[in-house]
Amino acid sequence: MSGLAVVTGASSGIGREYARRLARRGTSLIVVGRREERLTELAGDFPDVQVETVVADLAESAGIQTVIDAIGDQAVTMLVNNAGVAHYSPFADLSPAHATELIGVKVHAPTMLTHAVVSGMISRGQGQIVNVAGMLAFSGPASLEQVGLHRSVYASSLAYALAFSQTLQTEIAVHGIGVQALLPGVVATEFHERQGMDLSAVPRMTAADVVTASLRGIELGEGVTAPGVEQVHLLEEIFSADLNAFGAQSAELAARYRD
């Protein structure tokens, strides 16, 4: 596999595994993260592959622009929007700074980076975009007791990634471009530790398995890849129900709202 891939959140976890997997395939890389030493180490592991490191904070517009400038007019064949932050907290206690950071990293940055590369992909008639979200995208109806996490903004950002991926796919698939929403469950990475959470006793999937599922899902033509869901028909039922509800709307007021 040749080409050029941009991978955000490449300092650790899923992003680092994705970068390593692509580098082994001979794909040139632009790897993005906050920790310069981690990115430098990653680049050093693949001396025969072109790896450009970009230190940037994607919570800030300046950081996003740094990545866009690094891409320039290069022909990006794959974009992996993986960078993440959670800030699990009751909404009333969530600081404005943390809310802004979360939305910046999980909503603003993927949107703007995708915008920066999609026109080139369309003109070349090929490309792949991966938006790393999570199964919490489906957790809106779940009670706090069922999930055990205060997650209103975080789960909403994942739901955005899912809807963005699906709707974008309907626009650009005709140009030969794939868009995948990647929805892992709990993954054994540093992610939760950085949130001050100890999930060492919780069954967790490896980052390697998540990336394996993503790459295989791309080969299968999946728009939504859920690495830990064996019964794929459950996902199909969710999306079918979405379409049924959307198609059932009427200009007439529903009977339950009438006097």
Active site annotation includes 88: no
Which of 88, 154, 160, 257 is an active site residue?
Answer: 154
Three-state SS sequence of the chain: CCCEEEEECCCCHHHHHHHHHHHHCCCEEEEEECCHHHHHHHHHCCCCCCEEEEECCCCCHHHHHHHHHHHCCCCCCEEEECCCCCCCCCHHHCCHHHHHHHHHHHHHHHHHHHHHHHHHHHHHCCEEEEEECCHHHHCCCCCHHHHCCCCHHHHHHHHHHHHHHHHHHHHHHHHCEEEEEECCCCECCCHHHHCCCCCCCCCCECHHHHHHHHHHHHHHCCCEECCCCCCHHHHHHHHHHHHHHHHCCCCCCCHHHCC
Catalytic residues: 154
